[in-house]
Amino acid sequence: MKFRPRAPEEPEINLIPFIDVLLVILIFLMLTTTYSKFTELQLTLPTANVDAQRDRPKEIIVAVAADGRTMVNKEPVASRSVDAIAQALKGAAQPDSVLIISADAQATHQSVVSVMEAARRVGLARITFAAQSGSR
């Protein structure tokens, strides 16, 4: 009688009970944990008066029309030259003034660059552009 040796069975590790135990522990920890908000600093935020905020004397608004005409603070500029725009800006400029360029969407690039060059000549370094929201 010849007996064949049996192949040793490899031990099988069943992960399903292990995963079940981990999920129970996770649920237990989630239910017993207290979520508290830690505040380190008590802040009192400043308030602003909306009417006072609308009064901005240091703003210079330059409007550029589609045909290249320029207005500085609602005053038309006689010429489209950089020198004429610089003269108008010099009259309206104050220390730390902010230049707001409000150009028409169809205005030429050169007319906007002329306003920026005039602002550079006058010494206005703070320039921003006005835009409207895309939803009409």
Question: Are the C-beta atoms of residues 109 and 56 closer than 8 Å to each other?
Answer: no
Better-scored residue on pLDDT, 26 or 41: 26
Q: How many domains does the chain have?
A: 1
CA–CA separation, 72 and 60 (whole Å): 7
**23 in any annotated domain:** no
Q: How confident is the model at residue 1 (pLDDT cuts 50, 70, 90)?
A: low
The pLDDT, as a whole number, for residue 39 is: 47
Q: Could you tell me if residue 79 is inside a domain? A: yes
Query: What is the DSSP code string of 48-83?
Result: --HHHHH--TTEEEEEE-TTS-EEETTEE-S-SSHH
Encode pLDDT of 70-108 as tens digits: 999 888 898 889 999 999 998 888 878 899 998 888 888
* pTM of the complete model: 0.56
Nearest to 127, CA basis, from 135, 136, 117, 116: 116
Q: State residue 62 phi and psi, 5-degree precision.
A: -110, 120
The CATH number linked to 68 is 3.30.420.270
Which structural domain range is residue 102 located in?
Answer: 56-129
The answer to whether residue 19 sits within a structural domain is no
Sign of CA dihedral 118, 120, 122, 127: positive
Q: How confident is the model at residue 45 (pLDDT cuts 50, 70, 90)?
A: low
Q: Is residue 10 part of a domain?
A: no
More confident residue, 37 or 20: 20
Q: Is residue 100 part of a domain?
A: yes
Does a structural domain hold residue 86? Answer: yes
Q: Is residue 27 in some structural domain? A: no
Structural domain contains residue 89 = yes
Q: How far is CA 87 from CA 21, 95, 102, 121, 125, in A?
A: 80, 16, 18, 10, 16
